Amino acid sequence: MFKTTFLALAILFILSGCYRVYKPIYIPTKCEIEMPTRPTLSSTEISENMKALLIYTETLEKDLQFCIKGTPSSVKK
């Protein structure tokens, strides 16, 4: 009884290496989106510079989401 159980578990363990594992394959595609111009950050106010930089970052994120998912960008350029 013990030998048959051990043998069955050993065979099951050995055959588990033959299990197929499916992984997603990503194919790079060219995205036709213009690179937005980076803000100059010439203001003396830190809050104005930060606001301009955050708007630039959000625009980049929306454009990348468009390239990845194909959803239109909601941020005006």
Specify the residue for token string 């009884």. 1
Q: What pLDDT does residue 27 have?
A: 82
Q: What pLDDT does residue 34 have?
A: 86
Confidence (pTM)? 0.51
SS3 sequence of the chain: CHHHHHHHHHHHHHHHHHCCCCCCCCCCCCCCCCCCCCCCCCCCCHHHHHHHHHHHHHHHHHHHHHHHHCCCCCCCC
Q: What pLDDT does residue 71 have?
A: 61
Task: State pLDDT tens for residues 8-53.
Answer: 998 888 877 767 788 998 887 788 888 888 888 888 889 999 999 9
